[in-house]
Amino acid sequence: MRSLTHGAGRRGRALGVTAGGALVASLALAATPAPAALAADPAAGPGAAAAAQPTLESRSTEIITVDGLQFRDLDRSGDLTPYEDWRLTADERASDLVARLDLDQRAGLLMHASLTGRGTYDRAAFDPLLRDRHISTYISRLSIGAGALAEQHNQLQEAAEAEPFGIPLKISTDPRNGFSVTEGQTVSNADFTPFPDAIGMGAVGDPAATLAMGEIIGDEYRAVGITEALSPQADLSTEPRWTRQNGTFGSVGETVKDHVGAYVEGLQGGTDGITDEGVATVVKHWVGYGAQVDGYDSHYYYGRYAAFPGGDFAEHVVPYEGAFDVDAAGIMPTYSILKDLEVVPGQGPIEQVGAGHNEFLLQDLLRGTYGFDGVVTSDWGIANDCPQACLDNRPPASFVGPWGAGMPWGVEGLSLPARYASAINAGVDIIGGSDKPQYIVEAVQTGLLSDERVSEAAQRVLSQKFQLGLFEDPYVDPAAADEIVGSAASRAVALDDQARSLTLLSNDVVPATGAAALPLGDAEGTVAPGTTVYLSGVSAEAATAAGLTPVATPEEADVAIVRLTDPRGGDDLTDLDFTGTEADFQALQAAHAAGALTIAVPQLSRPLVLGNVVESSDAVLGAYGVSDEALLAVVTGAAEPEGRLPFELPSSMAEVDAQLPDVPNDTATPLFAYGFGLSYGDAGEEPAPGPGEPGTPGTPGGPGTPAPSPSPAPGTGTTVPVPDAQLTDAARGSVSVPATAQRGQRITVDLGAAGAGREVAVWLHSEPVVLARATASVDGSVQVTIPAGTTLGTHRVVVQAADGSLYGWDDLRVVSGATAADGTPLAFTGSDALPGIVGGALLVLLGLALVVIRRRRAAGGAS
């Protein structure tokens, strides 16, 4: 039985013993030499199994001793079968086991079915899937206490152990550590530690924080017996109306890439793939899901297309490189058809089928170009039927209807066996949301699918179960799960991330006091006694705990705090603006009209249009999933907002309609630029050019404004950068920056140890634009974001001291997202069109190097 020593996390995980009559081998972990025939080949590399005795647990099978070592006799043969031998590599064990299975059993391994039930799992539904259909991979959406969930999973694993070959279950989950709960996409957090939604971690802008979050989530999943995460989303937030942006880390490929890699590393337990103490990740949705036409949802037929009119498909691939860098276990293709996307000139558009049926995207690009060797798990229902009622269905109706859930986009006309064959032939290894292995069997028997391809997919699925250590011990300790999941230490980390993610968008000076609206209290968060507050969407208990006095009406209140939800307006429920009919917006207007100091807290699950929100409030704090406790800590001043917008906020729906779905942050005059965010002390500032195009943001509710003059350095009247003549090598000082950075990338400006606590201004000298006016951290560093409109080429990053004098400077080359064959960035100093041209050329060369396989489709050659 697995249990965690929580204080040490997974890196200090202790595999312990269990009571209750189970057969447990809790053995010393001293290395024991393997017999010569089974010794690990020194040339086999890191995948070769070590000869250290693992802890074993069995509930019904015997534990046998061979050569002084112990093994689980899962096939009940009485001797050691190769797949039971933990000294062999995962691939060797999987190969041996696959060879012992018949077609029905191997077909069952290619199913990813659903566990059903409320409060407990429905065993009447589960048992036949395990016993008769040989299915051993399942998604859990059960939201109950951690200990109870762990016990439920132990019971299912016990049933699996009793089956022939004793193949353990891999249990997966959609994200369950956030605040958003959406059917078929996320699960209520219950006991699990609540972090900001992924888009909030993008606002925090700290991949180290994302790594720490991933480690906590991985520990919590493994503690309850979940060994696969159907996350993270590596999609880009480029179409403002799209409804799944809260699951992404933002809009710029290179920035999102770092968070994706950190998340995968945190859950899997390292940078070299799955560990036996980690959780397999399934990175989704390969590729381009964020470029949905008009923001429509491709769970529905009407939303089946993503499009790339801006020619920015390559940008959408970049985040996945972060997953490949740390050997992510799995990939999930998007439902979407990439409308008329042409990658190889002269060959026409890629096949117009959903990515789960697209051989070019899965075999040529994913496995060929990027060398991905893990498991491809399809999204749910890609081989199911979608009858006419399904084709006509639109939100707000659920995509699940009497027909079930069917998203077979592009292959609707194929038979069920042909659809299953289409997906597996294209490169899918396991069909998400399916419990019908008979269609795999029928596809093989009728020649639509080869037996060899079924075995190849089955081996990949099994190999990961061996890597996860499930064949040695699939059981967990419910008491440890109660201790680990949602622990005080984990919640403290998450609470800090919630507070850090909050993005201060406006903070007006209050005429009566001459001070900024926020924070309400002093540096410790203490507010004036008797401060009354009107609340909308915030609990009175949390406000009282923060030292405020809740009242029933805004007329009685000194302060009003109003949360705003996504308005989801318009006929298609994709509009981003508040029309004045929304109850929460009306509460905001009423509070402001009553004279209360009004704080708006819009939920930025999508990039909302906030012009009238800014007008109807004294301060605006953008949120991405935040508890009342964390929100009030920032409002009172006990914590500070650190968030920077992970996407720009548009100024109108007209500009949203005019932007391109595949291009990040491209509205004409955004109200708030990508990367914008105020700090306490920036009182009264209007939206100003940050990492967006200089000079494009508009004033709240008004037209675009011309580019402002460069802001002064802190504490001075300086309005121009340091003269060029002063920027000599002798004047560089201790300032250092990375050699290269991309537009929109967040970088560290290191001032040296002497810079700790100094108030400085950081300039991009040649534009010129102020990147930050800040107090350096205790390590002497300042975080800045390179503006999205920065000219490509060499720049000087100049740091001014508070008195306007030169502190130091360093060179920075701003590069495009394109890379050379050796992975180094390509920089351009000429036209901004060049990055797209060269990037396109690289794709052309890549495409010409690929063999684009045009496969014959079943059912009369349909394509």
Residue numbers annotated as active site: 379
| Contact of 562 with 587, CB cutoff 8 Å | yes
User: DSSP assignment of 639-701, as one string?
Assistant: S------SS-B-S-HHHHHHS-TTSTT--SS-SB-TT--B-TT-TTPPP--SSSSTT-PBPTT
Which residues, in sequence order, are bridge partners of residue 330?
A: 282, 375
Q: Are 810 and 752 in contact (CB under 8 A)?
A: no
Q: How far apart are CA 623 and CA 645, in angstroms?
A: 10
Whether the Cβ atoms of residue 323 and residue 264 lie closer than 8 Å to each other: yes
Distance CA 5, CA 11 (A): 9
What are the CA-CA distances from residue 839 to residues 301, 663, 830, 842, 845 (Å)? 32, 14, 15, 5, 10
DSSP codes joined into one string, 336-390? -EETT---STTS-SPPSS-GGG-HIIIIIIIIIIS---SEEBPPTTTTS---HHH
Per DSSP, 52 falls in state B
Q: Closest by alpha carbon to 538, among 615, 629, 633? A: 629
Phi then psi for residue 411, to 5 deg, are -125, 25
For residue 64, the SS3 value is strand
Instruction: Collapse the DSSP code of 622 into the 3-class scheme (helix H, G, I; strand E, B; otherwise coil) and give the result.
Output: strand
Contact 499, 634 (CB under 8 A): yes
What residues contact residue 429 under an 8 Å CB cut-off, 6+ apart?
Answer: 110, 375, 376, 377, 456, 457, 460, 461
Q: What are phi and psi of 86, to 5 degrees?
A: -70, -5
Question: Which residues are 825's β-sheet partners?
Answer: 819
CA 321, CA 315: separation in Å to the nearest integer? Answer: 11
Rounded CA-CA distance 711/727 in Å is 20
CA distance 207 to 215: 12
Sign of the four-CA dihedral 644, 646, 649, 650:
positive
Contact status, residue 564 vs residue 594, Cβ threshold 8 Å: no
Distance between CA atoms of residues 484 and 227, nearest Å? 16
Instruction: Output DSSP code: residue 329.
Output: S
- Secondary structure (DSSP) of 699-766: PTTS-B-PPPPPPPPTTS---SPPPGGG--GGG-TT-B--SEEETT-EEEEE--GGGTT-EEEEEETT
Instruction: Find, among 679, 672, 742, 738, the residue nearest to 705 by Cα.
Output: 672
